[in-house]
Structure 1
Amino acid sequence: MPTDLHPVVKERANLLIQQAAKKGIVVVITDGFRSAEEQDSLYEQGRTTEGAVVTHAKGGESYHNYGLAIDFALKTPSGDVVWDREYDRNGNSKSDWTEVVQMAKKLGFEWGGDWAKFKDYPHLEMNFGLTIADLQNGERPDSSLVAGPNPGEQ
């Protein structure tokens, strides 16, 4: 099992932060690699522990567990971290959240907000064509994958 973000995911997350900054948007990566134990704990939220349900994935059932997903939020000038999808820090009359998602997609991420069921708006993933079942069966992204050129560079 991986113990950190896949190098391509890590590099693209850093590119996302840099590209957003050029547009006056401060992106914060709130979560990246998660162990199966951390995933199980998160799964219990809203079920056996307090809080709202935030995931339907148990340990080993999330792309986070394989280093292939990140979650993000936005930072305000006062330093608050927000998940406000209407927030417009750069004042260009476009939601910063929407701008970040568009940049992320150009970098090769899939967005949890596009899911038909249980939309996960902070979630971005790169599955490299692998399903959770593939990953559970020991398959991993091709180790020859390297970050390469900067797709979506603006």
Structure 2
Amino acid sequence: MLGVHDDLKRVVRRALELSPFDFGVTSGKRTAKEQNALFKNGASQLDGYSRKSRHQDGCAIDFVVYDENNKVTWGFSYYEQVSWAFKQAAQELNVPIVWGGDWVSFKDGPHVELDKRFYS
């Protein structure tokens, strides 16, 4: 969480308290080089140079959800349920966020970012 915007850190901490499932942050602030490596591996649509990620300015995190057996899960329904905790936390703290699972063209369930309309 080093380099992640303080408002997003507050949302993450509160979401952990509210979430029906445990989760862990797997990525926070990234360098352009780190972002580009993800792009080259097909894990991101943003190359980090001509198309920057919100991770590069500390305004995004990625997370992983643990299921009922404390095992990592990639089931979208788990991420959807945890997103509700993020959204409630954001509302309580008056911090506008966007969940990647709400995107239309590219569903990114393990991604949360500060709303760029309010955080540039």
Which band: TM-score by shorter chain? 0.7 to 0.9
> TM-score scaled by structure 2?
0.79
> TM-score scaled by structure 1?
0.63
RMSD (Å), alpha carbons? 2.1
Q: Which structure is higher in strand share?
A: 2
- Give the corresponding residue for 2:72: 81
Aligned residue type for 2:64:
A
**Tell me, what secondary structure is at the counterpart of 2:3?**
coil
Whether the aligned pair in 2 keeps the contact of 1:40 and 1:59 (CA below 8 Å) is: yes
Q: Which one of 58, 74, 82 corresponds to residue 67 of structure 1?
A: 58
- Give the corresponding residue for 1:4: 3
Is there any run of 5+ residues in structure 1 with no aligned partner, and where?
46-52, 87-95, 131-139, 142-154
Is there any run of 5+ residues in structure 2 with no aligned partner, and where?
91-95
Compute the displacement of 1:7 (Å): 0.6
The answer to whether the aligner puts 1:105 opposite 2:94 as a matched pair is: no
Alignment map for 1:1-154 (pairs within 5 Å): 4-20=3-19, 23=20, 25-45=21-41, 53-60=42-49, 61-76=52-67, 78-86=69-77, 96-106=78-88, 107=90, 108-129=96-117
Matched residues, percent identical?
A: 29
Compute the displacement of 1:78 (Å): 4.6
Q: RCO (CA 8 Å, sep 6+): is it higher in 1 or 2? A: 2
Mapped partners of 1:76, 1:118: distance in 2: 24
**Tell me, what secondary structure is at the counterpart of 2:14?**
helix
Compute the displacement of 1:109 (Å): 2.1
Mapped partners of 1:118, 1:85: distance in 2: 13
Compute the displacement of 1:77 (Å): 5.1
Count of residue correspondences: 111
